[in-house]
Structure 1
Amino acid sequence: MKKTYLLFTALCCLCSVTLAQKKTKSSGNYPASIDRPKLVIGLVVDQMRWDYLYRYYDRYSNGGFKRLINDGFSAENTFIPYTPTYTAVGHSSIYTGSVPAITGIVGNDWYDPQLKRGVYCTEDTSVVSVGSTTRAGMMSPKNLLSSTITDELRLATNFRGKVIGISLKDRGSILPAGHTPNGAYWYDGQTGDWITSTYYMSQLPAWVQDYNKLKMANKYYDQNWNTLYPIESYTQSTADNKDYEGKTRGEQTPTFPHPLKLYAGKNYDMIRSTPYGNTITLDLAKVAIKAEDLGKDNITDFLAVSCSSTDYIGHQYGPNSIEAEDTYLRLDKDLEDFFSYLDQTVGKGNYLLFLSADHGAAHVPGFMKENKLPGGVVDDKAIVTSLNTFLESKFKIKKPVLLAINNQIIFNHENPDFKQVDFTAMKSAAIEYLRTLEGFADAVDLARISESTLTAVQKQMITNGYNARRSGDIYFILQPNWFDGGKTGTTHGAWNPYDAHIPLVFMGWNVKPGKTNQTHHMTDIAATLAAMLHIQMPSGCIGEPITELTHQ
């Protein structure tokens, strides 16, 4: 009996091994490894309104924006889900999949009540410049409270996948590159060099040093800035000479040709306000791909690039200027060249690229008035002065308002007279007063947003933009196309679609041509990348994958 039992047991074990072997062999139907692209490229075009994809479509080349639109997948109704809509906030939101309430990046600048001073989004006095003796490199991502999709890629590959950030603006390079990149590089306008900080490294790589020696700004200054095509062909723009466009130093009128030769060897910062700033940014990106061997192996790398000149030009001339149109036509050619370079070095189908924007822009109030459309400007300093005068008279308190920033009123809580005043009553009085000012639509108590009668969209965007540590006391909403600014150029920051409706197009690896008109948000970009790459979402991510793309 015992022998029979042992024989039965042995047969059972043999069957188990055989079944296990069969199961192992059948696992050949599954991939040996997770399929990922060799390189991911994030392209953020600063201040690119969504309509620019189509406004100049007929004039774009086949290999630039047209290729992106027709070969890629476009989420046509992508919106920013918070306010205020500024550069630092947009870049951090794209790469964290989150909002200021969580990331802590509530503006380009904000007032910190604990530090009792203004704070710049990427400032870091514990580090010093690398590649420059100026203070332009005293920057890092320390104020960013969430991880980024670039951080998550580093974690997912056990830090073998490389991450590089490049932008003229420090915030356009640092925030997308995250906390753990191999490098983040930005432009020092005082020296004309690309630099970094000791947060990342102690010395610039040889390839950055070599590129700096070329002093590319001087090369482009020598060409001046004239229109790419005959000026009379710019039918999508207003006339060249408008008093609501800003003049460049040394110019009599804000018109073509712009004499850049004046700045060669003298003012390297001026390159930012020309289309050539985008050219040198994408040029350095190509150098980085080659020098850092990005996309050369099966471990996914990430290159985060932000083209900033579109923003500088928009601020100076406005969205309807010939300068803006010419800038996008030139950027189109730069993108065609960049895409071609990616095809040759990384290979078609081996890279995943997305293009989006950190915010849009309003039309210049002068242009709006000229065309019988509503719009205007307010002045933050004048608002503070006026509000203080009102509150001083009503509550007998000296200068209760400290400043207005990011569409917010910040009270001076260090004022000793505050102890004698009902602060809730003073806030309510301030809100009622702000509602009477020209150009103001509404104002709300940031600590009691849920009790307001704002529209659901406005209420949600203000809530998402509110960080208890870094935001103010009152949020004011201006009427459509009103903003804080001067008489020339444009700005952004509002909840309105002209500031909040952004382009979002994916192209390349595992992307089939197509479009969706479903509503998506800036925060969905990181979530979509995480789903496509099979990696964790960033630590503060609230976005959702764009399933119309991921389920193709």
Structure 2
Amino acid sequence: MKAHTLLRLLAASLAAALLASCTAAPGTVADAAPRPKLVVFLVVDGLPQRQVLDYRDQLAPDGFARFLDRGAWFANAHYGHAFTVTAAGHATMLTGAYPHRTGIIGNDWRDPVTAEPVYCTGDTSATYIGHATNALDGTSPKNLKAETVGDVLRRVDSRSKVIGISGKDRGAILPAGKTGIAYMYMGATGQFASSTHYMAAHPAWVDRYNAGKPADRYFKAEWKALLPEAAYARSLPDQQPWYGPAGGGLPAMFGAKEDSAPGPRFYGSLLRGPFVDAMSLEFARAAIAGEQLGQDDIPDILSVSLSGHDYVNHAFSAESRLSHDHLLQLDRLLQAFFQDLDARIGKDNYIAVLTADHGFMPAPEYNASQGRESGRVNSSQLLGRVNAGLEKRFGPGKWAAGFSGSSVLLDKQLIAQKQASADALAEEARALLMAEPGFAAAYTRRELQSGSRAGAPFFEQIRKSWHAEVSGDVQYSLKPGWMFGNTVATHGSPHPYDTQVPILMYGPAWVKAGRIDARVEVVDIAPTLSRVLRIAPPSSAEGKLLPLPGL
């Protein structure tokens, strides 16, 4: 027998042994049912749980309602970390680990030694295939320090395929993990592309999809409200004064009047609406066909992160009519996608899970109109005040190099040069932050490493957002209603409007229908899917099994 044949047989034996060791206990749902042929993992970027329920009576019969009426859904699902932003959430979902383990502390941060900018999925050794690549573009999972469910699945059997698709690079790359393949929407061309981290050239099915110029069909197209005006009485009317000079309302046309043909400005604008989401699901269909996902008994994972809702909510807030209608648009897109999955994969052959990377706060101006405390923090002005306070005590110098994720980063070189105390500087920086009107809590590197402030306000959530090798020196969170930045609304806090997200599951062979009120966390998804797939959970996972009957 040839050596390579022996190696293949040995690998198959090891995989079988590992699979047997990870099989669920006899009598559970996961043990009784065959493994799913396909896990369909869906993310709606920036979808707070409240929106799914607020408009439940307006949902189509088989979109979100498939989960709510015939699947399992968790009414009290939350993130457990404090800095609830896109990359941190996407890194948590399928690793089952929070940023203190994944190393993805935000969308971007600063190198803790040099203070140079770092992007969550940046990797200068890789470039987009067929597209220009800038220094901080997202091209690989290099910065992800934890494995995913897909990584474990492929380690058990390399024939399993794991594919991530999104309008955002981080939404595709992070759920796909270390060994999957990511495809992301290119805002300059309206195409989907992978990077040289994954392959040298696209497979033929990707080239065929892009050759059809799918984005061009939306040039000068209108996003129109699905329902009559009266149906939107529960959301804020268009053209609120805090939307800014451009205003905002439906119908909305894509493609500037002065543009005679599609170009980068048009392609980028499609992200703020339902059309890139429609293309993402269309590209997912192409991936299912092109890669033959779910066509045998070797499980595959398809992750699709729909980015448009986040862009809409930043521009208009989750309380807006535009966000209300965008949710309904997504609902109809999901209904069509599920029907195609039923036809191609078979309704009893796949399990679908839907969640979000974070929720969304109401706009500060809306909070103020409701008599709630709110405010905005100008980060550059705040940094100036912090440095002025540090100079007053420690002498001249820009002691705070900048903000990194949700922390203040001290200048390590200046500290060494002047032989200053890093701990004393951090303590003073913390005191200066807490003197600001919008800050709820701040903790120093020493406190976070030692756990000495356990039980203090937001300490555990803040600690889960802080990574010793990646983060800065004073980690903080804002009070409810306060935000950084000049978008209409945002996210990134430990407060329920940002932490509470949907966890919805459908797959009758593995999931019994019903509402579950127990508090659960997003880190619980990874070990639960691992149980269904009969593999070990990811090595850094810190969640537990979701309380599904029989699992």
Tell me the TM-score normalized by structure 1.
0.89
Specify the alignment match of 2:480 in structure 1.
Answer: 480
2:224 is matched with 226
Q: Aligned to 1:242, which of 216, 240, 243?
A: 240
For 1:168 and 1:150, the matched residues in 2 are separated by 20
Aligned to 1:117: 116
> Within 5 Å, which residues of 2 pair with 1:134-145?
134-135=133-134, 139-145=139-145
Measured in 1, the distance between the counterparts of 2:296 and 2:155 equals 17
Q: Does the aligned pair in 2 maintain the 1:295–1:301 contact within 8 Å? A: yes
Q: In the TM superposition, what are the counterparts of 1:295-374 in structure 2 within 5 Å?
A: 295-374=294-373
Quote how far apart the aligned CAs of 1:291 are: 1.6
Q: Could you tell me how far apart the structure 2 residues matched to 1:138 and 1:529 are? A: 27
Change (3 A) 1:336 1:354: same
2:183 aligned residue:
185
- Structure 2 Cα separation of the partners of residues 190 and 114 of structure 1: 33
- The answer (yes or no) to whether the contact 2:152–2:536 under 8 Å persists in 1 is yes
Q: Which residue of 2 aligns with 1:534?
A: 534
Residue by residue over 1:338-362, the C-alpha shift from the partner in whole angstroms, topping out at 9 and shown as x without a partner, is 1100110011111001000110010
In 2, are the aligned partners of 1:245 and 1:316 still within 8 Å (CA)?
Answer: yes
Q: CA deviation at 1:404?
A: 1.8
* CA-CA distance at 1:443 after TM superposition: 2.0
Q: Could you say which residue in structure 1 is the equivalent of 2:14?
A: none
Match of 1:75 in 2: 74
Q: d(CA) in 2 for partners of 1:404 and 1:32?
A: 48
Q: CA deviation at 1:453?
A: 6.9
Number of the residue aligned with 2:202 = 204
Aligned residue for 2:16?
none
Q: Distance in 1 between matches of 2:66 and 2:407?
A: 41
Please give the alpha-carbon distance, in whole angstroms, between the structure 2 residues aligned to 1:425 and 1:44: 42
Note if 1:408 corresponds to 2:407.
yes
| C-alpha distance in structure 2 between counterparts of 1:228 and 1:77, whole Å | 29
From 262, 265, 272, the counterpart of 2:262: 265
Task: Answer yes or no: is the 8 Å Cα contact 2:218–2:275 preserved in 1.
Answer: yes
Partner AA of 2:474 in structure 1: I
Q: 1:86 to 1:41 in 2, by over 3 A?
A: same
When Rg is computed on C-alpha atoms for both structures, the one with the higher figure is 1
Question: Residue 219 of structure 2 contacts residue 262 of structure 2 at CA under 8 Å; is this kept in 1?
Answer: no
Unpaired segments ≥5 residues, structure 1: 1-28
Which residue type is aligned with residue 296 of structure 2?
Answer: D
2:385 corresponds to 1:391: no
CA contact (8 A) 2:410 2:473 kept: yes
CA–CA separation in structure 1 for the residues paired with 2:312 and 2:106: 20
Give the Cα separation in 1 of the matches to 2:467 and 2:225: 44
Question: In the TM superposition, what is the alpha-carbon distance from 1:192 to its structure 2 partner?
Answer: 1.3
Q: How many residues align?
A: 514
Q: 1 CA distance for matches of 2:360 and 2:504?
A: 19
CA contact (8 A) 1:377 1:485 kept: yes
SS at match of 1:96: coil
CA spacing shift, 1:51–1:448, aligned 2, 3 Å? same
Question: In the aligned structure 2, how far is the partner of 1:138 from the partner of 1:316?
Answer: 23
Distance 1:519 1:493 in 2: 20
Summarize the Cα distance change of 1:296–1:147 in structure 2 as closer, same or farther, 3 Å threshold. same
Q: CA deviation at 1:420?
A: 4.0
Using the alignment, how far apart are the partners of 1:197 and 1:32 within structure 2? 38
2:271 counterpart SS class: helix
1:256 aligned partner: 250
Q: Distance in 1 between matches of 2:273 and 2:64?
A: 19
User: In the alignment, which residue of structure 2 is the partner of 1:514?
Assistant: 514
Q: Judge conservation of contact 2:80–2:464 (CA < 8 Å) in 1.
A: yes
Task: Specify the SS of the correspondent of 1:502.
Answer: coil
Equivalent position amino acid for 2:79 in 1: I
Letter in 2 for 1:57: R
Is 1:436 aligned to 2:435, yes or no?
A: yes
CA deviation vs aligned residue, 1:232-279 (integer Å, no higher than 9, x gap): 4211211211122256xxxx4322222213265122111101111211
- Aligned-pair CA distance for 1:454: 5.3
**SS of residue matched to 2:511:** coil
Residue aligned with 1:51, SS:
helix
Structure 1's 255 and 547: CA in aligned 2 closer, same or farther, altered over 3 A? closer
Q: Does the 8 Å contact 2:83/2:477 carry over to 1?
A: no
What do you get for the CA RMSD once the two structures are aligned?
Answer: 2.0
- Provide the rounded CA distance (Å) in 1 between the counterparts of 2:405 and 2:190: 30
CA contact (8 A) 1:131 1:194 kept: no
State the shift of 1:223 in Å. Answer: 2.1
User: What amino acid sits opposite 1:96 in the alignment?
Assistant: T
Q: Pick closer, same or farther for the CA change 1:59–1:298 going to 2, 3 Å.
A: same
Match of residue 11 from structure 2:
none
Aligned mates of 1:383, 1:281 — CA distance in 2: 39
Amino acid of the residue matched to residue 524 of structure 1? D
State the SS of the aligned residue for 1:83. Answer: coil
CA contact (8 A) 2:103 2:143 kept: yes
Mapped to 2, the partners of 1:436 and 1:454 lie a distance apart of: 21
- Superposed CA deviations along residues 99-146 of structure 1, whole A, max 9, x for unmatched, are 111111111111112454111011111112213234487611111111
**CA 1:417/1:303 → structure 2, altered by over 3 Å: closer, same or farther?**
closer
- Give unpaired runs (5+ residues) of structure 2: 1-26
Does the C-alpha gap of structure 1 residues 32 and 378 become closer, same or farther in structure 2, counting only changes over 3 Å?
Answer: closer
Shift in alpha-carbon separation, 1:137–1:496, aligned structure 2, 3 A: closer
Distance 1:324 1:360 in 2: 13
Residue matched to 1:463: 463
Greater shift in the superposed pair: 45-54 or 232-241: 232-241
Partner residue in 2 for 1:6: none
The reply to whether residue 91 of structure 1 matches residue 85 of structure 2 is no
What is the CA distance between 1:424 and its match in structure 2? Answer: 2.5
TM-score (norm 2): 0.89
Residues 69/33 of structure 1: CA separation in 2 closer, same or farther (3 Å cut): closer
Matched residue, 2:61: 62
Instruction: Note the C-alpha offset of 1:446.
Output: 3.0
- Aligned CA distance change for structure 1 residues 528 and 246 (closer, same or farther; 3 Å): farther
Distance 1:451 1:281, change over 3 A: same
| 3-state SS, counterpart of residue 110 of structure 2 | strand
In the other structure, the counterpart of 1:279 is: 278
Q: d(CA) in 2 for partners of 1:295 and 1:417?
A: 56
Give the structure 1 partner of residue 546 of structure 2: 546
2:255/2:262 contact within 8 Å kept: no
